[in-house]
Amino acid sequence: MAGHALDEVFAAGAEGIRLAGDWTLRGLDERLPALRAALAAAPADARWSLRAVRRMDSFGALLLWQAWGGRWPAALEADDGQRAIIGRIERSAARALPAPARTSALDHVALLGEGLLAFGSHLAGFIALLGRFALDLGHLLRHPRDWPLLEISANLYKVGVKAMPVSALVGFLVGVVLSYLSALQLRTFGADAFIVNILGMGIIRELGPVLVSVLVAGRSGSAMTAQLGVMRVTEEIDALAAMGVSRGLRLVLPKVVALVLAMPLLVLWTSALALLGGWVSAWVELDIGLHFFLQALPGAVPVANLYIGLAKGAVFGFLIALVACHFGLRVRPDTESLSANTTASVVSAITVVILADALFAIATRSIGLPV
């Protein structure tokens, strides 16, 4: 390109090297590779003339300083302004940036230890939060006027009502799929009527609560963590503390109470829609009528299973909300920590729910099963 010729800024001749034009980041942009080569080829004892340089910024000065090998050349023609700019490069060269710490084999051991300690601190933090919640609840029992009803109601709407469409859709579709796959198997045995037992038992006792928990952990748990996290970043939580408002009472408790109330309702709603989806599939595949389906359901599924399902919902809701608040309050004021804690919140909530589900299975192994 004619407009980006090297000789506009750099000319090496018998009397030395003459620089001209704009020695700026933008001025040198296009001819930088050629210029770097030319600067590298410049003899160490050359005379340098900067008289014709119109503008120079620190990038241009840095290029020169590097070409000079970090020393002022013996013969230099430059005005005071240029010398000042290059002088700044010289000064800053003496103040090199500290190198970031390197990782060694020992660091991996330290990382392992840190991981263990972090787990311990999470456990301690979670127990402290649980204790705080119990104390807050005790306080509310003695001072019923302090109930944060507005916050609870707002949270109930957010985590309950607004989660209904998505949980309905997911529940319905899972019901359809489960029923379809079971119907294929049952038909080969001629045991068509047992579809009611499989769907009823599976969905009401097990699938409904776990499905809703996974959805709510992803939907509401992450939102709670992110909300508390951003409130930490923007110092809103500190502002509350400065006003003497308990964050446990105003931020944590309403979320936990709302989710404990909303989850059983969501479980009921989702299980009902999953059963509906299951029936639709059974009707198409096995020609089972709605009337038969509804009549056979109470006989196939003892009512204790419904109570177990609802109790699971409440317990899972409690765990999800507490885990979400725990991670939200641990966010440090940077974006990396916010994203890490939100991820950890969802993953931990789902893991904790599944662990709790296993405990439920063991604890209720003799309840509600038809003999």
Partner 1 sequence: MSAPLTNAPVVRVEGIVTRFGRNVVHEGLDLSIRAGEIVALVGGSGSGKTTLLRHVIGLTRPAAGRVEVFGEALDAGGAPRRLARQRRMGVLFQHGALFSAFSVAQNIAFPLRELGMMSPREIDRLVALKLEMVEMEPAHALLMPAELSGGMVKRVALARALALEPELLLLDEPTAGLDPDRSASFIRLIRALHRELGLTVVLVTHDLDTLAQMATSVAVLAEGRIVSHASLEDTLALDHPFVARFFRGLQARRSHSHGAGAG
Name the residue among 214, 327, 203 with its Cα closest to residue 263. Answer: 214
CA distance 3 to 27: 11
Closest to partner 1 by CB, 22 vs 357, is 22
Residues between 26 and 55 with contacts to partner 1, criterion CB under 8 A: 26, 29, 32, 53-55
Q: Is 230 exposed, middle or buried (0-12, 13-18, 19+ CB in 10 A)?
A: middle
**Binding flag, residue 335, partner 1 (CB under 8 A):** yes
CA distance 162 to 159: 6
**316 with 351: CB under 8 angstroms?**
no
- Residue 284 Cβ vs partner 1, minimum distance, rounded to whole Å: 52
The stretch near partner 1 (CB under 8 A) out of 87-95, 113-121, 222-230, 275-283 is 87-95
Closest to partner 1 by CB, 24 vs 246, is 24
Closest to partner 1 by CB, 62 vs 164, is 62
The alpha-helical segments, DSSP class H, found in 160-301 are 164-189, 195-201, 208-216, 222-233, 236-242, 247, 253-286, 290-300
- The number of C-alpha atoms within 13 Å of 138 and in the hemisphere containing its C-beta is 6
> Which of 98, 144, 190, 244 touches partner 1 (CB under 8 A)?
98
Q: At what angle do helices 253-286 and 149-159 cross, to 10 degrees?
A: 30
Binding-site size, partner 1 (CB under 8 A): 34
> Which of 113, 120, 299, 333 touches partner 1 (CB under 8 A)?
333
The stretch near partner 1 (CB under 8 A) out of 56-64, 131-139, 238-246, 315-323 is 56-64
Can you give the binding site for partner 1, defined by CB under 8 A? Answer: 24-26, 29, 32, 53-59, 62, 66, 79, 81-82, 84-85, 88-89, 91-93, 95-98, 100, 332-336
